A = this chain, B = another copy of it.
Amino acid sequence: MAKVTRDDVARLAGTSTAVVSYVINNGPRPVAPATRERVLAAIKELGYRPDRVAQAMASRRTDLIGLIVPDARQPFFGEMAHAVEQAASERGKMVLVGNSDYVGEREVHYLRAFLGMRVSGLILVSHALNDLAAAEIDAWDARVVLLHERPEAIDDVAVVTDDVGGAHLATQHLLEHGYAYVACLGGVAETPTVGDPVSDHVEGWRRAMHEAGRSTEGRLFEALYNRYDAYQVGLELLAGPDRPPAIFCSTDDQAIGLLRAARELRIDVPGELAVAGFDDIKEAALTDPPLTTIASDRSAMARAAVDLVLDDGLRVAGARRERLKLFPSSLVVRRSCGC
């Protein structure tokens, strides 16, 4: 089973190798219909498949996109990764996936590995991108798009949702039910980030509270962005003496953990406690009670990220059409809010 190369095809079709390439790639030069037919026939007969590695070598570009996420096992990132893969596939690209597991070194490791592989673009979902990673990106002069999160260490093209607006929306909605106040389960990064960037979620919540004349003092709690930690935090938080009447969580995953804690403590949701989440992951529709949350068009975002990284990720200063693509957040009312 000797490998079939382009030369074999050219020979069989009675033409030159270049023409075979032109047929495969539709150009850069035109090929006469008759010739094209002969080449196509030869390709079929020999079962020829172009070697992508050689193509990449010669054309200096690959059909690869690198995607780095913290942990695709978390529903939100998993859905995001799925959407990115889908979008990439539509553009004929393959996706190299790397889970950083919230470890900075792993992030840099994958960054390096993917760039070495000459990916044609890199999509990063990370809130803790460090300087080392940024330096690596610069060194390779790579096309990078930040998705969902926008770390401070790096200045690049980003596709994000309007988190502040979304949090504001959710908090406001909760407030409209007449609860005395709304607490917030903010997120704490798995690995401490430099500085203390108040997350946009917290910011939006704070804003809505202040607008309604409520104090936020002592009403902000923290958990990792996943259900397991939120469950633990929830157990303490809800068992305490002055349990909040309503809680806005930074992620649905946290909300799910909180709901679980509430059930364990026999606290009725939404009867005794209202909850709202953020992200509208698929599971949010199947929690008990179904979760009121904030949605955004995930697949549109993924598509935007892929498009940006492929068409517009050039690092030439100022040459980009948009440096920031903001997607709107919308409220999805279910039952956990008390509606």
A residues in contact (CB < 8 Å) with B: 1, 47, 49-54, 56-57, 62-64, 71-73, 75, 78-79, 81-82, 85-86, 89, 94-99, 109-110, 112-118, 139-141, 227-228, 231, 257, 260, 263-264, 282-283, 286, 288
Contacts and interface: CB of A to CB of B under 8 A. Distances in A.
A54 B57 contact: yes
A130 B48 CA distance: 21
8 contacts: A49-B140, A63-B117, A72-B72, A82-B99, A89-B109, A95-B97, A96-B97, A228-B286
Contact of A53 (B62, B72, B82, B288): B62
A253 to B, nearest CB: 11
Contact of A78 (B63, B72, B95, B109): B72
Contacts of A81: 72, 97
Contacts of A114: 94
A115 B3 CA distance: 13
A112 to B, nearest CB: 8
A95 to B, nearest CB: 6
A57 B47 contact: no
A118 B263 contact: no
Nearest to A283: B227
B85 A97 contact: yes
B85 A79 contact: no
A145 B50 CA distance: 24
B53 A118 contact: yes
A268 to B, nearest CB: 13
A52 B116 contact: yes
Contacts of A110: 94
Contacts of A96: 64, 94-97
A286 B227 contact: yes
A85 B57 CA distance: 26
Contacts of A50: 116
A53 B56 contact: yes
B286 A231 contact: yes
Given A139-B47, A260-B286, A94 B113 contact: yes
Contacts of A94: 96, 98, 110, 113-114, 117
A85 B99 contact: yes
Q: Which 4 A-B pairs have the closest CB atoms?
A: A57-B57, A52-B116, A97-B97, A73-B78
A117 B73 contact: no
B73 A85 contact: no
Contacts of A228: 282, 286
A114 B139 CA distance: 28
A334 to B, nearest CB: 14
